């Protein structure tokens, strides 16, 4: 079967890593192409040996051109924009909608929630990354019969392979990895991390990622007088060596599904200090595999404890990695995706073999 992974972002982050991992997990069963706007994702996919087809604008015309070029049997559309595009294009190709985050504007009966419901009703199947993502969706009853809750996993083999060739300039005491967008509350991340640096004279803060709020993060580190110990590294295809060498990862997200960066951190033994949003409550056992705190002062205190206590950090890291292996059923995930593909394309897939 030929499957087109359709995404709206030109960079490689959470949902994009999921799509790329699916391509790798099922490469023997299906033929994949990854489609998104042109951007840094191209190089990241090249490193993984995944075919990339850039789309000329997220438009109906652009998707129709890609479909004529690749001739997929199935479109796997990730998140709201890609789902809406797959539904609107009218290509005649069945599609699956995969929702990765439980955003605030999907919890209320607003335009985004309505558009998604109208589009996803035309999907052969809907996948949501955790139960909270489904429960929090305002129009969940409309999609209940076609929705499967399938928690994200990450490919340990992919992390191991890329860690050996990953970028590294050494680790950090506090590390943030992700898109610098409102969802991640990066200004709060900077405020908390810089407060740690004010308490620990030798501590360093690293930021891996890019986005529209980068300048605001930088302004915080300037205002708090620790800019000289803060490194803004931009987008990195494989930050895994940096993650492996760092002491703690900080997340202050407003909402999450099942964040890939957090799973990757757990696998690499990097303790997480986070706000207690839905997706993180499933991953982090407080004071065992990391820390979940609502207040800035408590986030700072948890980070200071982890940084200053090597024994605590080692125990937390070990527990986090153990928790990762408990949660990450890669074989089960691969089989579940394959079965969804088979059901979505009756009579097309030829028993799941590549054509």
- For the segment 8-51, what is each residue's pLDDT rounded down to a tens digit? 999 888 899 999 999 999 999 999 999 999 998 999 899 889 99
Is there a contact between 344 and 124 (Cβ–Cβ < 8 Å)?
Answer: yes
Are the C-beta atoms of residues 37 and 55 closer than 8 Å to each other? yes
| Helices within the chain (DSSP H only) | 14-25, 41-48, 60-70, 79-89, 111-120, 131-135, 140-143, 156-163, 186-199, 214-223, 240-245, 260-267, 278-283, 296-308, 310-327, 330-344
Ramachandran angles phi, psi of 103, nearest 5°: -75, 155
pLDDT of residue 352: 46
- The helix (H) or strand (E) run that includes residue 290 is strand 290-292
R_g of the chain, CA atoms, integer Å: 20
Bin 234: left if φ > 0, else alpha if -120 < ψ < 50, else beta. left
Query: How high is the pLDDT of residue 343?
Result: 96
In this predicted structure, the answer to whether residue 282 has a pLDDT above a threshold of 70 is: yes
- How buried is residue 222: exposed, middle or buried, by Cβ count under 10 Å (0-12/13-18/19+)? middle
Ordered domains of the chain (ranges, CATH): 2-153+329-349 (3.40.50.2000), 161-327 (3.40.50.2000)
> Residues 51, 56, 61, 63: what is their CA dihedral angle, to the nearest 10 degrees?
20
What confidence score (pLDDT) does residue 232 get?
A: 97
Q: Which of 252, 199, 197 is nearest to 222 (CA)?
A: 197
> What average pLDDT score do residues 79-86 get?
97
Query: What is the spatial distance between Cα 306 and Cα 320, in angstroms, rounded to a whole number?
Result: 13
Work out the average pLDDT over 170-187: 96
The predicted model gives 326-353 an average pLDDT of: 85
pLDDT digit string (tens) for 200-230? 999 999 999 999 999 999 999 999 999 999 9
As beta bridge partners, residue 78 has 98
Terminal alpha carbon distance of the chain:
6
pLDDT at 278: 86
In Å, how far from its chain's centre is CA 334? Answer: 17
The yes-or-no verdict on residue 323 having pLDDT over 70 is yes
Following DSSP, what letter does each residue of 262-285 receive, concatenated? HHHHHHTT--EEE---HHHHHH--
Joined together, the tokens standing for residue 259 give: 């964040």
pLDDT at 287 (0 to 100):
96
Arithmetic mean of pLDDT over the chain: 94
CA 291-238-263 angle, to 5 degrees, is 30
The SS3 call for residue 77 is strand
* Residue length of the chain: 355
Alpha carbons 135 and 282: distance in angstroms, whole number: 15
pLDDT tens-digit map of 242-281: 999 999 999 999 999 889 999 999 999 999 999 999 889 9
Q: Per the structure block, which two tokens stand in for 263?
A: 């799973």
Contacts with 143 (C-beta within 8 Å, 6 or more apart), sequence order:
117, 120, 121, 126, 137
Q: Tens digits of per-residue pLDDT, 85-113?
A: 999 999 999 999 999 987 889 999 999 99
**CA–CA separation, 195 and 116 (whole Å):** 40
CB 79 within 8 Å of CB 15: yes
Q: What's the pLDDT score for residue 170?
A: 80
The whole-number average pLDDT for the span 306-326 is 97
Reading the block at residue 71, the tokens are 């001739």
Q: Give the pLDDT of residue 351.
A: 44
More confident residue, 134 or 168: 134
Are residues 94 and 124 in contact, defined by beta-carbon separation less than 8 angstroms?
yes
| 3-state secondary structure at position 151 | coil
Give dist(CA 96, CA 90) in Å, integer.
14
> What pLDDT sits at residue 166?
59
């Amino acid at each position: 079967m030929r499957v087109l992974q359709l995404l709206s972002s030109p960079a490689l982050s959470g949902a994009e890593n999921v799509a790329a991992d699916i391509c790798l997990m099922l490469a023997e069963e299906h033929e994949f192409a990854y489609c998104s706007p042109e951007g840094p994702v191209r190089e990241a996919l090249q490193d993984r040996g995944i075919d990339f087809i850039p789309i000329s604008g997220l438009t109906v015309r652009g998707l129709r051109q890609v479909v004529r070029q690749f001739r997929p049997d199935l479109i796997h559309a990730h998140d709201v924009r890609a789902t809406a595009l797959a539904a609107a294009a009218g290509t005649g190709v069945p599609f699956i909608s995969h929702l990765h985050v439980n955003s605030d504007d999907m919890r209320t009966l607003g335009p985004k929630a309505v558009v998604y419901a109208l589009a996803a009703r035309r999907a052969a199947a809907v996948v949501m990354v955790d139960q909270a993502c489904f429960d929090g969706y305002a129009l969940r009853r409309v999609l209940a019969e076609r929705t499967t809750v399938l928690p994200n996993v990450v490919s340990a083999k992919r992390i191991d392979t890329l860690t050996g060739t990953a970028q590294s300039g050494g680790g950090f005491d506090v590390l943030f990895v992700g898109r610098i967008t409102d969802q991640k509350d990066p200004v709060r991340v900077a405020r908390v991390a810089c407060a740690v640096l004010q308490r620990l004279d030798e501590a360093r803060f690293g930021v891996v990622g890019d986005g529209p709020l980068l300048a605001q993060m930088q302004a915080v580190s300037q205002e708090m007088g620790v800019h000289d110990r803060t490194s803004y590294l931009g987008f990195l295809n494989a930050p895994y060596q940096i993650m492996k060498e760092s002491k703690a990862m900080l997340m202050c997200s407003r909402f999450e599904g099942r964040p890939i960066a957090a799973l990757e951190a757990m696998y690499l033994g990097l303790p997480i200090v986070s706000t207690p949003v839905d997706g993180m409550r499933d991953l982090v056992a407080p004071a065992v595999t990391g820390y979940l705190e609502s207040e800035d002062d408590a986030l700072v205190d948890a980070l200071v404890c982890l940084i200053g206590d090597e024994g605590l950090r080692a125990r937390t890291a070990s527990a986090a990695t153990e928790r990762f292996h408990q949660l990450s059923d890669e074989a089960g995930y691969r089989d579940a995706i394959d079965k969804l593909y088979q059901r979505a394309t009756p009579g097309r897939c030829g028993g799941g073999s590549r054509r």
